Copies of this chain bind each other. A is one copy, B any other.
Amino acid sequence: MPTTERVSLDALLKGAREASRGLARADRDAALLAMADAIERHAADILEANAQDVAGERRRGTSAALVDRLTLDVERLHGVAQGCRQVAALPDPLGRVLDGWRLANGLDVRKVTAPFGVIALIYESRPNVTVDASALAVKAGSAMVLRGSSNALSSNRALVTVMRAGLAGAGLPEDVVQLVDSADRALVTELLEARGRVDLVIPRGGAGLIRHVVENARVPVVETGVGNCHVYVHATADLAMAESIVYNAKVQRPGVCNAAETLLVDAAVADAFLPAALAKLRAAGVELRGCERARAVVADVAPADASDWATEYLDLTLAVKVVDGLDDALAHIARYGTQHSEAIVTRDLASAERFRSEVDAAAVYVNASTRFTDGFAFGFGAEIGISTQKLHARGPMGLVEIVTYKYLVDGDGQVRD
Query: Hey, which bits of chain A sit against chain B, CB under 8 A?
Result: 21-22, 24-25, 101, 103, 107, 109, 114, 116-117, 195, 199-200, 214-215, 218, 220-222, 238, 241, 244-245, 247-249, 252-253, 334, 356-358, 360-369, 371-373, 377-379, 389-392, 394-395, 404-416
Contact = CB atoms under 8 A, between A and B. Distances in A.
Given A371-B415, A390-B116, A379 B410 contact: no
Contacts of A369: 414-416
A334 B118 CA distance: 14
B413 A366 contact: no
B366 A411 contact: yes
A222 B390 CA distance: 12
B103 A379 contact: yes
B200 A415 contact: no
Given A390-B404, A391-B391, A411-B367, A416 B372 contact: yes
Given A367-B412, A391-B392, 9 more contacts: A199-B391, A220-B391, A249-B415, A366-B408, A366-B410, A368-B413, A368-B414, A372-B414, A392-B392
Most buried by B among A117, A214, A215, A413: A413
A15 B26 CA distance: 51
Given A377-B103, A391-B220, A406-B394, A21 B358 contact: yes
A210 to B, nearest CB: 11
A109 to B, nearest CB: 6
Contact of A200 (B221, B362, B367, B390): B390
23 contacts: A22-B358, A101-B379, A107-B368, A107-B372, A200-B390, A200-B391, A220-B390, A222-B391, A241-B412, A253-B416, A360-B406, A363-B409, A366-B408, A366-B411, A367-B410, A367-B411, A367-B413, A368-B412, A371-B415, A377-B416, A391-B392, A391-B404, A394-B404
A183 to B, nearest CB: 26
Contacts of A109: 378-379
A245 B367 contact: no
A188 to B, nearest CB: 17
Contacts of A404: 390-391, 394
Contacts of A221: 220
Contacts of A378: 103, 109, 407
Contacts of A408: 356, 363-364, 366
A368 B252 contact: no
Most buried by B among A248, A368, A392: A368
A92 B248 CA distance: 37
Contacts of A405: 394
Given A117-B390, A195-B214, A222-B391, A364 B406 contact: yes
Given A214-B218, A368-B107, A390-B200, A238 B413 contact: yes
Identify the 9 closest CB pairs spanning chains A and B, nearest first.
Answer: A368-B411, A248-B415, A392-B392, A220-B391, A390-B404, A371-B416, A241-B413, A363-B407, A368-B414
A244 B413 contact: yes
A415 to B, nearest CB: 3
Contact of A407 (B22, B362, B389, B414): B362
A410 to B, nearest CB: 5
A70 B398 CA distance: 46
